[in-house]
Structure 1
Amino acid sequence: MALKVEIHLKENVRPFSPTPHSLRNYKLSQIDQIEGTNYTSMLFFYNSAGAHHHDYDELKQSLSKTLSVFYPVAGRVKDGMTIECNDEGVDFVRANVTNYDLSDLFRICTVDHLRQLLPFDPYPMDFDPSQPMLGVQVNKFRCGGTALAICIWHGVADAAAIGGFVQTWSAINRGEGGGGGNLVVDATAIFPPALNFDFSAPTSAAARLVKSNQGKYSKKRFVFRKEEIERMRDEYILPDRRRPSSVEALSAFLWAAVIRANQNAKMHILILFTDLRKRLNPPFQSMCLGNILYLTAARWMSDGPGGVTAHSLVGKIREAIMKVTGEHVSKIEAPGGLTTEMEKIAAFGVDKIKFFIISSLCGFPFHELNFGWGKPIWFLAAPFNVMDGANLYKTGDGGIEAIIGLTPQVMSILNKDKKFIVRVSCIRTMTSELFNLPSKY
């Protein structure tokens, strides 16, 4: 049965303090331009148990104070290189889910249900410069529980920046202040913007890609317990005899399973997102605004069935991550640098290459985001675009959940892979179909 989500109030929230005229123009970097074709959507689910009263007026007031710290979020796109920090504000929507409790939603939840909880479409077909950088929708359920949904324009914030924003917001809402240090930086010296950039074409292209692939990919949620992750770390010792991180170990495990399910490809490439903030000289604030990230790749050449193991891949993953430094990025960004890298890949023939993309949010404590209501009982970065890839999130008990999107044929092979399935503690189908959560929810 469809959710009955009734919008009863939509407000404009402006910064608590006006932005100084000297900060009127916020410069977009080239990575901001590339990423700024859609919105990142996240949902946080909170129970109404105990003394945790969900005060939405208070939430709106603390959002206003947070916008004074992250003032570009309250602005509008001026042109392809600039956000005008004009304090026009963000959308704050209040809605009631009239036919379900939170427990009901977790039992029958679908991707379509999740979309209804968002303030607007994260993949608009047309670029609208008057659209707010941020939309918030507070969904109140019959039981008194809350689903807090945010959509933030990717051109102004990557995962680390969103983490900084929501942690500052939640701290202010708890009465603890927030926003220490300079969280608005200029990254254009590292990634000079492309001149005369037009967001219209990439915006519509991204939306068409996501919407044309709806139903063509099978998406499932796989949960790995903390104990299993630790066993992987013990087994997949790196060449320098150190243990890999939890994300490195799980990434190697997932990539090995996907390679086994795609034996026809000659070359396999794993794409990883790497946060540059602490790798630059001088380093940036750990959760400053913008897209201060870079893509890195690990490669594996197929040598026949049974030739790949997670242990053989984890060193390649660590090497790919560690090589991403400010110096490396400068070389790639230099004229001809990226072209040379692409030519190396293209030499193998695109039809013989299989890409797999892993995006990890495990380094950000989204699962602990406390507005004074207690920790969320579940957190999700809405998974509408997971195609030939995996999104990784921490669970409240120290494990990791992976939402994986593969073609039905490859997913079917993965489901029969005993080396893979034996390590999984929970599997749930997720499509425009059913998306169940573990029984503990």
Structure 2
Amino acid sequence: MVLKVEIISGETIKPSSPTPLHLKTYKLSYIDQGNIPHPPISLLLFYSGANVDAVEQRGLLKKSLSETLTRFYPLAGKIKDNLTIECDDYGTYYLETRVDCQLSEVLTHPEANTLKKFLPSYDHHFRSGSSGSAISNEMDLKDLIQLVIQVNVFDCGGIAIGISMCHKIGDLASVTTFLNSWARTSRRGTSSTADDQEMVTPYFYSASLFPPKKMLASCPFKKLSARNKHVTRRFVFDASRIAALKAKAINPIYVENPTRVESVTALIWKCVSRVGITKSSESATRQSVAFVPVNLRGRRIPPMPEHLIGNLVQLAVASKTTSASAKEEDLSYLVQLVRDGVSKIDNDRVKEIQTYRDGGFGEFFREVYGRYSKGEVDLNTIISWCRFPFYEADFGCGKPHWVCSVQMKGKNVHILMDTKDGNGVEAWVTFGNQHQMDEFSSLIDCEFEISAETERNSAT
């Protein structure tokens, strides 16, 4: 789909009230220190804009954003080094664009390359005048704007809100906490009566749970290359497909109660590990590794607060071979491998991280990534964004019609999200080229054709 997205304004939104002196320095946690700042976490929310004054609504978005930044003051500050954020109230960058089409045209046939136009570009995350080394394009953390917002206005009055947050300060749960706090603040401004929901209260003490290391004070990074082109496509697993997958993933030997996320994760892992394997090479086996990020907040005893800001995530590991053996291809077996990997991210693992121990993961990652760079290992990251309350983000113009994320970190990184009804899963799958994507798509179709044939045979 060809459309024009024209930037009509851009400004820096500062917190409505200055940050108190005793909060001017925010400490990053040990986990934050190990996180690279870019690519950012990006989220895109679509609203119809029906029965809402468009000019008034956009003014309220900016006003409520300013008020919200007062509560989320580190997001408006400057990353001083890899230890601290200087909460100087610099603010966040806010863009408004005009889109020369109807919102329905985009939602009817959503394409990754089109959707990316509604998100802030990578360059908008850098302060005016900042530039990297002419040779390495190496940047300094202090050049980063941590939060960038892009509000896209369609011809019909509908809007798409694009949020892009630096990954140094927080994870997806942090973004969600900010999003819903901003939405509630905006919604209160559209009503003469008080909102019946309490405001979201963020907590900023993750560094006290995971103390930073002074030896990690420096963290230069390189700007992303625009030449890194990847192919991203959305695969929708509705309720009927989820039911078929869960039925296929049930096996008393391995797993009797697979969840929808486990089932889709296992299916994607199974199919991505088969991409590139030809008939002539099926006898050759390689290691296939799936990384599955796990939210640590509920893994500690007692649990950490839901709205604790920071990168409170660890990677679970599942590993198999790419052989075509019945066991390695059994969906229930793959679900068990994923579940076993996730179960290891427990209270004991949290305690290890708090004392700077990685449980051997660092050595394992270096070994696997080294072999992956030589083409000896199949490596994929499958991230579940399911069950996060994106669809509760009502800014005063109703709940979103659709929420998605298309700004992938790179090839072999795949994101799972809820469908709007909460019963299905949308998988945003990314490969290095179109040939791999086509092969993956064929493998997915084949899986469901086999399931349908099995059901027909069982019925007869």
Per the normalisation by structure 2, the TM-score is 0.81
Distance in 1 (alpha carbons) for counterparts of 2:228 and 2:156:
35
- Structure 2 counterpart of 1:257, one-letter code: C
- Assess if the C-alpha contact under 8 Å between 2:206 and 2:309 holds in 1: no
Moved more, 103-112 or 250-259: 103-112
Judged with a 3 Å threshold, the aligned counterparts in structure 2 of structure 1 residues 367 and 328 are, in CA distance, closer, same or farther, namely same
The alpha carbon displacement at 1:363 in A equals 2.2
The alpha carbon displacement at 1:368 in A equals 3.6
Distance in 2 (alpha carbons) for counterparts of 1:341 and 1:25:
35
The alpha carbon displacement at 1:424 in A equals 11
2:307 matches 1:287: yes
Q: How does 1:238-257 map to 2 (within 5 A)?
A: 242-257=256-271
2:421 matches 1:420: no
Distance in 2 (alpha carbons) for counterparts of 1:360 and 1:172:
27
SS at match of 1:129: helix
The alpha carbon displacement at 1:120 in A equals 3.5
Q: Which of 75, 78, 88 does residue 73 from structure 1 map onto? A: 75
In structure 2, what is the equivalent of residue 400 of structure 1? Answer: 425
Per the normalisation by structure 1, the TM-score is 0.84
- Assess if the C-alpha contact under 8 Å between 2:203 and 2:309 holds in 1: yes
Instruction: Kindly indicate whether structure 1 or structure 2 has the higher relative contact order, using CA contacts under 8 Å at least 6 residues apart.
Output: 1
Judged with a 3 Å threshold, the aligned counterparts in structure 2 of structure 1 residues 225 and 361 are, in CA distance, closer, same or farther, namely same
The alpha carbon displacement at 1:195 in A equals 2.4
- Assess if the C-alpha contact under 8 Å between 2:146 and 2:166 holds in 1: yes
2:83 matches 1:58: no
In structure 2, what is the equivalent of residue 436 of structure 1? Answer: none
- Structure 2 counterpart of 1:375, one-letter code: K
- Assess if the C-alpha contact under 8 Å between 2:410 and 2:430 holds in 1: yes
Judged with a 3 Å threshold, the aligned counterparts in structure 2 of structure 1 residues 18 and 423 are, in CA distance, closer, same or farther, namely farther
- Structure 1 counterpart of 2:75, one-letter code: V
Distance in 1 (alpha carbons) for counterparts of 2:241 and 2:6:
42
- Assess if the C-alpha contact under 8 Å between 2:9 and 2:97 holds in 1: yes
Distance in 1 (alpha carbons) for counterparts of 2:179 and 2:75:
12
Work out the number of aligned pairs and report it: 416
Distance in 2 (alpha carbons) for counterparts of 1:352 and 1:165:
41
Distance in 2 (alpha carbons) for counterparts of 1:114 and 1:223:
16
The alpha carbon displacement at 1:304 in A equals 3.6
Judged with a 3 Å threshold, the aligned counterparts in structure 2 of structure 1 residues 182 and 141 are, in CA distance, closer, same or farther, namely closer
Give CA-to-partner distance per residue, 1:283-341, whole Å, 9 cap, x none: 22113211100011101124445541211111111111111023224446427834443
Q: Could you say what the CA RMSD is over the residues aligned between the two structures, in angstroms?
A: 3.0
- Structure 2 counterpart of 1:213, one-letter code: N
Distance in 1 (alpha carbons) for counterparts of 2:117 and 2:140:
21
Q: How does 1:296-375 map to 2 (within 5 A)?
A: 296-304=316-324, 307-331=328-352, 333-334=356-357, 337-342=360-365, 345=368, 351-375=375-399
2:173 matches 1:152: no
In structure 1, what is the equivalent of residue 414 of structure 2? Answer: 390
Judged with a 3 Å threshold, the aligned counterparts in structure 2 of structure 1 residues 137 and 362 are, in CA distance, closer, same or farther, namely same
Distance in 1 (alpha carbons) for counterparts of 2:365 and 2:163:
35
The alpha carbon displacement at 1:24 in A equals 1.2
- Assess if the C-alpha contact under 8 Å between 1:69 and 1:183 holds in 2: no
The alpha carbon displacement at 1:91 in A equals 1.6
SS at match of 1:277: coil
Give CA-to-partner distance per residue, 1:179-212, whole Å, 9 cap, x none: 44452222354263462543433x33xx13xx34
Distance in 2 (alpha carbons) for counterparts of 1:301 and 1:38:
30
2:41 matches 1:40: yes
SS at match of 1:11: strand
The alpha carbon displacement at 1:52 in A equals 4.0
The gaps in structure 2 that reach 5 residues or longer are 127-136, 189-194, 278-283, 453-460
SS at match of 1:278: coil
Q: Look at both structures and tell me which one has the larger radius of gyration over its CA atoms.
A: 2
SS at match of 1:94: strand
Judged with a 3 Å threshold, the aligned counterparts in structure 2 of structure 1 residues 423 and 330 are, in CA distance, closer, same or farther, namely farther
Give CA-to-partner distance per residue, 1:16-41, whole Å, 9 cap, x none: 33222111111112332323233222
In structure 2, what is the equivalent of residue 105 of structure 1? Answer: 106
The gaps in structure 1 that reach 5 residues or longer are 426-441
